[in-house]
Structure 1
Amino acid sequence: MSDHNARKISLSILREWEESSKFIDSIIDKKFRSNDLGHLDKSYTQNIVLGVIRNLSLLDHFVEKLRNSKMSSETRRVLYIGIYQILLMRTPDHAAVNETVNLANGKSRGMVNAILRRCVREKENLLEEKEDMDPADKFSIPDHIYARWEKQLGKETSMDVAENSNIPAKLMIRSNELLGGLSDEDLTEIDATRIDQFKGFYEVKKLPLKAIADGRCYVQDPSTSIAPYLLNPDSNHTVLDACASPGGKTAILSSIMSNEGKIIASDIEGPRSERLLKNLKRLGVKNTEILSGDLRETKDALENENVRFDRILVDAPCSNSGVFRRRADAKWRLMPNYTNELIDLQLELLSAVIPLMKKGGKLVYSTCSIDAEENTGVISKIIETHTHLEKLDEVQLIPNDINDGAYAALLG
């Protein structure tokens, strides 16, 4: 397949994303399954699509600067693709201009051609201007989100978070000791660098596809390990892993427990539970049962059967503000006051499972958010309403060169 067709598919993906409420990952997956794309074409398409979405407000700024006049949404999307290639992807200028112009319809081709050629002429000035922009604009973080970061994290940390949130994530894997883990030969072949701060994690230059298929490793960010290790269950414990899909944290719990004891891993019925079951089977997890359904409803059956847990992990749905670099479209879904409904859900989930905890048991609440209201704020509220609990420990990770953002608090 030619680069032109890859650009054409990129345009159709961006069009569907803007015109629907679908997640970008699901649109990309559907397009890849319906088109015969090789590995390089998939990478090229994904680079363009996710690059445009990551830098959407920056690209919009450049479009307005280069041609401040009305244009159709389709023409604007074509320009995003072209300007991204010229300024941020560093595609050869002639290819970026000519192939992108070919994406435009007849009436807009002249305008697209003129704007992109001006972009090439003014490239150095535009890139210099970018370096002097405010962080929210430079790294395409919605103003209301960046304002929250500055208030909660301070100016300097917010700038670092914005930059790290706009850079594609590095390839990270976890060696799965349940099935023997990665061999020295594997590690050499994939040019792996051990992440000393996180047990079993490596940064790699390429994915060890056979080891992944065999279950000897799992593609997973190091930040996902803080909650299981904070919970630290014994091998004879009964553990509830709420909101467990896709299963990365469940597998770490199983490893900590030496595949002994018992884990009930719960998630909503359908694709999430199916994916959870498939991953745990591939990773050699044998001490786990899958409970499909909304725990706010299924917990009654557990309570009636007098099922109680030594340890509970609630990895709650959240804003994803710590993983924007992995979920490029997440930031564009968060409206002002986005935490309100999320906090209600997080408190509901915690309140549903706390009665299932044994006397003397412990619970970890975790998110992939860096927003204080979803993290320490939720913990403060749950302790107010469940006075027998106290916060024993907590960990907050900020997105950096090694790990995504994440939060975990231990209650007992």
Structure 2
Amino acid sequence: MTPKQDLARNTAYRCLFEVLENQGYSNLVLKQELSGSSLSEKERSFVTAMVYGTVTRVYTIDYLLAPHLKKGLESLDASVRTCLRMGAWQVLFAYGVKEYAAVSATVDLARNVCPKGAESMVNAVLRKLSSEGEDALSKIPAKKTDVRYSLKSEIAGCLNKWYGKEKAEKIMEAFLEIPDVTVRPNAFRVKDTEELISELKNDGIEAIPDPVVSEALDIPGNRMDISDSSAYRKGLFSVQSLSAMLVGYVASPEKGWSVLDTCSAPGGKTAHLAELMDNEGYIDALDANDIRLKMVDETAERLGLSIISTMHYDCTYLKDEKDKLLPEYDLVLCDVPCSGLGLLHRKPDIRLSMTYEKMQSLSEVQESILENSCLRVKNGGYLIYSTCTINPNENENRIDAFLTAHPDFECVPFDDKLPKTLLSNPRLLLQSKEGKMTILPDEEGMDGFFIAKMRRRS
């Protein structure tokens, strides 16, 4: 093992320890560790893959490690536990890593970071796991879908309940796929995507047009450094998932409109609305988290968008403060806090943190935001509700209950706002015509997402 490989695994170890033992966020921990690091692009990709891969597969890994540990995984020192988990990922799931090399490198790591003598146990356990190979995975009982797809049992149970066993398994399997990074050109500054492709190429970044959302660009590979590019600093694009981009297209704001974004941080959807308005009109961007709200200001400044005004505001209630907010808006966006179950492949930390109890409490928050925000929609104006979850109770059930309580609102079709390729899916075509649509990851290869578009009757 070369010193650089050692540095890469040490970096991955620190990240995984922080995420798995101290509830850190994978993306933030990785960003902090890789910022200013001497690791090459290839090594950074390896570290990123190991961190996201281990967190994604942690429940499967723990299940397969358990038979080889007399007193169980939780009895071990946290450093040993982390080494075993990252070693198991390399042995069982990593592409292009020889099993013997993975074991040897992890043992060397354990010798440096674990209590004295622990490397012998790490060596023995990983060698046993390596000898089992793919047989270990194939021996997981079929009924243990939570283990096979690395989910908490309660989350796997919810998916089975909502979608039926067969469909739920397809969704769970899709959440194990590694998602592409996608970028959205700044429509206010970039009029031709070829211009952005050329700029990115100058930065050493390959970009290709997305086959579904024509304005979007796909960035092959696990690029963590894209925000360090000169094109990003120039404000030529935003990093945004395809599903999140659809919110702006569905909202379809016009130049000069007044817009209220009730949960705006970190600002991707807010910026998209401003770009679609050609930076004409105004957007009041609110958020309950004043630290995250600064990200909206930074995004607007980087992209050259002057119509966005931010305010620290908890939208579970909206007081009648006319000096701060307009009484009514042409468009109100409620991109509410949610369980994030549509992002399990992109944000693996959600696998660790989300529970049924948390989903229930989030549902109450969503109801409060929707109830208060609808008061700010003018007659004939639009209310957009979106989430990045596939939980029906946070999505279509929430909208059905809202419409029952508010007969002055109605869902309106938005099929004409969506990419035609997407509408080749009959289910999405039907739902978009009904004004509320759920994107499922197993069908489109996109993030799980929900969007509803409502209009206040004149």
Q: If the length of structure 1 is used for normalisation, what is the TM-score?
A: 0.91
Deviations 1:288-308 (A, max 9, x none): 222223234564324886531
Matched-pair contact (CA < 8 Å) for 1:176–1:182 = no
Q: Say which is worse superposed, 202-211 or 109-118, in terms of deviation.
A: 202-211
Aligned to 1:409: 452
User: 1:373 Cα deviation (Å)?
Assistant: 0.4
Q: 1:366 and 1:250 mapped to 2: Cα distance?
A: 13
Aligned to 2:91: 86
Aligned to 2:346: 326
Corresponding residue pairs, total: 412
> What is the DSSP-based 3-state SS (H/G/I as helix, E as strand, rest coil) of the residue aligned with 1:403?
coil
Matched-pair contact (CA < 8 Å) for 2:20–2:55 = no
Aligned to 1:173: 183
Which residues in structure 2 correspond to 1:33-72 (within 5 Å)? 33=35, 37-70=39-72, 71-72=75-76
Aligned to 1:232: 252
Provide closer, same or farther for how the CA distance between residues 396 and 125 of structure 1 changes in structure 2, counting only shifts above 3 A.
Answer: same
Whether 2:102 is the aligned partner of 1:96: answer yes
Q: Say which is worse superposed, 309-318 or 394-403, in terms of deviation.
A: 394-403
Matched-pair contact (CA < 8 Å) for 1:241–1:313 = yes
Provide closer, same or farther for how the CA distance between residues 346 and 275 of structure 1 changes in structure 2, counting only shifts above 3 A.
Answer: same
Provide closer, same or farther for how the CA distance between residues 59 and 281 of structure 1 changes in structure 2, counting only shifts above 3 A.
Answer: same
Which residues in structure 2 correspond to 1:4-403 (within 5 Å)? 4-33=6-35, 37-70=39-72, 71-74=75-78, 75-90=80-95, 91-104=97-110, 105-129=115-139, 134-181=144-191, 183-184=193-194, 186-187=196-197, 189=201, 190-205=205-220, 209-296=229-316, 299-302=319-322, 306-392=326-412, 393-400=435-442, 402-403=445-446
Q: 1:368 and 1:224 mapped to 2: Cα distance?
A: 8
> What is the DSSP-based 3-state SS (H/G/I as helix, E as strand, rest coil) of the residue aligned with 2:357?
coil
Deviations 1:283-325 (A, max 9, x none): 2223222222323456432488653101100000000000111
Structure 1 ranges of 4+ moved more than 6 A: none
User: 1:48 Cα deviation (Å)?
Assistant: 1.5
Q: 1:135 and 1:408 mapped to 2: Cα distance?
A: 28
Provide closer, same or farther for how the CA distance between residues 108 and 352 of structure 1 changes in structure 2, counting only shifts above 3 A.
Answer: same
Which runs of no fewer than 5 residues in structure 2 stay unpaired? Answer: 413-434
Matched-pair contact (CA < 8 Å) for 2:316–2:365 = no
Deviations 1:55-99 (A, max 9, x none): 011101110233444440432321111111111014222321112
- Structure 1: which amino acid aligns with 2:148? K
Q: CA RMSD in A?
A: 2.5
Q: How much identity, in percent, do the aligned residues show?
A: 25
Q: 1:175 and 1:283 mapped to 2: Cα distance?
A: 10
Provide closer, same or farther for how the CA distance between residues 293 and 332 of structure 1 changes in structure 2, counting only shifts above 3 A.
Answer: same
Deviations 1:229-277 (A, max 9, x none): 2222221321111111222212221232222122112123532111111
Matched-pair contact (CA < 8 Å) for 2:318–2:372 = no
Matched-pair contact (CA < 8 Å) for 2:88–2:129 = yes
Q: If the length of structure 2 is used for normalisation, what is the TM-score?
A: 0.83
Which runs of no fewer than 5 residues in structure 1 stay unpaired? Answer: none
Provide closer, same or farther for how the CA distance between residues 383 and 58 of structure 1 changes in structure 2, counting only shifts above 3 A.
Answer: same
